Amino acid sequence: MKKYGKFAALIVVVLGTLVYLAVAGGNSNATYYKTIAELGRMGDQAYGKRLRVGGDVESGSIERAGSQVHFVLVQDKTRLKVAYTGSDPLPDTFRDGAQALADGRLDKDGVFQAGKIQAKCASKYEAKPGQMPGQAPSSINTGKRSI
Amino acid sequence: MENLGSLALLLAFCVAIYAALASVAGRIKRKPFLVVSGRRGVYAVWALITVASGVLVHALMAGDFRFAYVWEHSNRSMPMLYKFAAWWGGQEGSLLLWSWLLATYSMVAAFTNRRRRRDFMPYVTGVLMTVQVFFLLLNNFVANAFKVFALDGRITALPDGNGLSPLLQYPAMAIHPPMLYLGYVGFSVPFAFAVGSLITRQPGDGWIHTTRRWTLVAWLFQSAGIMLGMAWAYHVLGWGGYWGWDPVENASLLPWISGTAFLHSVMMQEKKGMMKVWNIVLVSATFFLCILGTFLTRSGVVQSVHAFARSEIGKYFVGFLALGIAATVYLILERLDYLKSESQLESVVSRESSFLFNNLILLASCFAVLWGTLFPVISAAVSGDQISLDADWYNRLMVPIGLFLLFLTGVGPLFSWRRTSVDSLRRNFQWPGIAAVVLVGALIAAGVRHFYALISFGFCLFVALTVLVEFYKGSRSIAARNGMNLARAAVELTHRNTRRYGGYLVHVGIVLMFIGFTGQAFKLSEVKELDNGDSLKIGRYDLRMVKLEHGEEENYLWDRATLDVFKNGSELGLLRPEKRLYKASRQSTSEVGIRQRLDEDLYLNFGGMSDDNQRAVIQAFVNPLVSWVWVGGLVLIGGTLICLVPSKIRMQYARTQVLRVTSSYATVQK
């Protein structure tokens, strides 16, 4: 039976190491998907977590100040101020009215600091049977990804 | 034409049902005529799906814009190659490709075995046709490729289509999906063989041999598909990397990992009659991971850069997976007695043990990747929060796993069966071990401090040397006996036992790929806004912007930067990264500028225009050793091809009860 003990011990060591590695980072590798309304309800819990928030870019809200871009995301009439501080240029599809996903953290002033923005055209269009499709874009831009 | 396509698919659906039922019923009732008709049904299904695919491909090539599918995925100005590739450019077409490939595999499997294994081939046909029925169900009733546009009750053609997604208009991308699908679909055949052998309680290992070859074929395509995907990501997406742990990438990796585990552990069954349950579980898991992969790719259930259309298709896959897994688990439990192991583990330092740990670690990595991929779904179900894990999480887990596997790659093949003596350990590992330690010492002296990189380089040298020594020893003895030169003897040696030496070559491919992966540890990146005359410094390179142009083509608008590249002061030439914005889809793509060399790549991406629209945002990367990933991939594919060549000397796998322990070198010389 002794040899099986050795096998068991080795297996436990290997698996234990892996489980440790999987959970050791805690929450630092996790990104939470939230709606703007949910973000509002989270209260203090929202600070410091990595979040991904989606919504429409409010028309006329995009302001560029130096390297920062400020804009407002709207979803079901709830608004969220976003400051984009990332180094990648914003995707070409990012414009008034576009659907955007912001990746980042909420700071104490209630401004969402985004390090990454993905955007897709609002007029996402799919042809339905029996309809003539118009001149509408049908693909989305997923923007850049980074490792 | 659309009616011909639809009719062919509908008939194929009916015939596939018949073929599945007739084969199995014929086998149970011992009616050979039914079995034969079932087999011929497989051929008919193939012919019918071929007709349907032909109709779709013809419509794409001829630009028949009455078809919704043709309109969505092609346009008139596309080159012929991409018009053909549009077959798998969208949901409906790629599911049709899946069906067609499965029918092709089924036909080949049924035809090549028509006079062999008569007792269990009907079940193999039955399983394959059941899977076929599922996919034809999707082709016919859920994602039909033959929908046409109609206006006021009349079929109408549109003037021109949307065009294939510009990201997909790239040569590697045109063949990446069919390769990957050949892999995904190919794993159905080993699964069907396993189920057939289980139902009929096959004695002996004949079926294992066939299954192993089929698995190798599928594994070959899966490897090629993954490599092409990586090459595509590197050359087209413009973020300087080739693997981002994206859900769809993971989906293709999962069956590859479990397939790899099976290819190793099946040797235990061939030679020792061990791990039978485990092997059946692995074959089945690989198959279901393929279905899961197709599901993840096609349903959009997990967020991904591949972001295919979200659709209703998910629930069909979930249903099929649930039914299939339940049936397989039931069958395995029912047949546990047949799967009883014939020998036992004896020592921790033995070939058996190295296989065991190889499998354990592969399965653990498979589980980890699966967990990470499905985490948004799992967390949403458990806590209500949809949480995704980033690439760092995967890297933290997978880098140590990869290194441990690399280590096993070196030691495993040289451990003896049953137990390994200290003497043989020293003989096999002394010099490679010393060489690896010397290399690591030299690297530390040269200033390399990255812990994992040091370990990786050490293991890479160690494994490469052990393989080299194996080739050298074998070749030398053949050369001496037959009076050949060493190179000729090495070829002869490989030909005599293609499985073993082809396998070693695959290991060499893996080592080369690890050298490439390790280069990532020393990756440099720099982003800067550049105007004419501005320069950017990255590593030993100096980049000077000489021209910034904008223009317009028929399909797209472009911005292009021309940069003069200097390295250590000497001029190397010009690189021209470009950004294109496609007018129809408003989608942008990158034409990166790469200077590829074996030691390092200089990789430039045109990120976009600065906010004031005056300067270009240039992202520069230096990727050391990245070319070795591609070289390693080619070696791996070559090695796998060699494994598929029949050995010159027919091997006998003596399944022996060991009567006495011999202390000498116990690897059986085949």
Q: Are B237 and A88 in contact (CB under 8 A)?
A: no
**Which structural domains are found in chain B, ordered by start?**
1-164 (no CATH), 522-624 (2.60.98)
Of A15, A24, A141, the CB nearest to B587: A141
pLDDT digits (tens, 9 = 90+) for B65-75: 889 899 888 88
Of B353, B387, B610, the CB nearest to A32: B387
pLDDT digits (tens, 9 = 90+) for B413-430: 888 777 777 888 888 888
- Taking the domain A31-127+135-147, which CATH number applies? 2.40.50.140
In this prediction the pTM is 0.87
Contacts of residue B663, Cβ cutoff 8 Å, sequence gap at least 6? B421
Nearest to B294 by CA among B325, B258, B320: B320
Interface of A with B in 9-28 (CB under 8 A): 10-11, 14-15, 17-18, 21-22, 24-25, 28
Contact A33 B386 (CB under 8 A): yes
Q: Does the pLDDT value for residue B521 go beyond 60?
A: yes
pLDDT digits (tens, 9 = 90+) for A92-111: 667 777 778 888 888 888 88
Q: In what order do the strands lie in the sheet with B600-609?
A: B524-530, B616-624, B600-609, B593-595
Q: In whole angstroms, give the CA distance from residue B53 to residue B47.
A: 10
Contact A18 B401 (CB under 8 A): yes
Q: In whole angstroms, give the CA distance from residue B476 to residue B480.
A: 6
Of B71, B364, B371, the CB nearest to A127: B71
Nearest to B539 by CA among B581, B599, B482, B589: B599
pLDDT band at B563 (very low <50, low <70, confident <90, very high): very high
pLDDT at residue A143, rounded to an integer: 35
- Residue B218 — φ and ψ, nearest 5°? -60, -40
* 3-state SS track over chain A: CHHHHHHHHHHHHHHHHHHHHHHHCCCCCEEEEECHHHHHHHHHHHECCCEEEEEEECCCCCEEECCEEEEEEEECCEEEEEEECCCCCCCCCCCCCCEEEEEEEECCCCEEEEEEEEEECCCCCCCCCCCCCCCCCCCCCCCCCCC
Sequence ranges of the domains in chain A: 1-29, 31-127+135-147
Q: How many helices (H) and strands (E) does chain B have?
A: 19, 13
Q: Does the pLDDT value for residue A134 go beyond 60?
A: no
Question: How many beta-carbon pairs under 8 angstroms link A with B?
Answer: 136
Nearest to B416 by CA among B658, B211, B586, B221: B658
Contacts of B370 in chain A (CB under 8 A): none
Contacts of A147 in chain B (CB under 8 A): 239, 241, 244, 391
Q: In whole angstroms, give the CA distance from residue A96 to residue A71.
A: 9
Contact B586 A139 (CB under 8 A): yes
* E strand or H helix that includes residue B541: strand B541-552
Residues A129-137, mean pLDDT to the nearest whole number: 35
pLDDT at residue B556, rounded to an integer: 84
Contacts of B158 in chain A (CB under 8 A): 132-133
Contacts of A127 in chain B (CB under 8 A): 68, 71-72, 149
Of A10, A87, A130, the CB nearest to B348: A10
Interface of B with A in 359-378 (CB under 8 A): 360-361, 364, 368, 371, 376
Contact A21 B385 (CB under 8 A): no
β pairing state of A51-57 and A30-34: parallel
pLDDT band at B322 (very low <50, low <70, confident <90, very high): very high
Contacts of B585 in chain A (CB under 8 A): 137-139
* 3-state SS track over B547-604: EEEEEECCCEEEEEEEEEEEECCEEEEEECCEEEEECCCCCEEEECEEECCCCEEEEE
Contact A7 B348 (CB under 8 A): yes
Q: Does the pLDDT value for residue B616 go beyond 80?
A: yes
Of A64, A121, A129, the CB nearest to B147: A129
**Which DSSP letter does residue B234 get?**
I
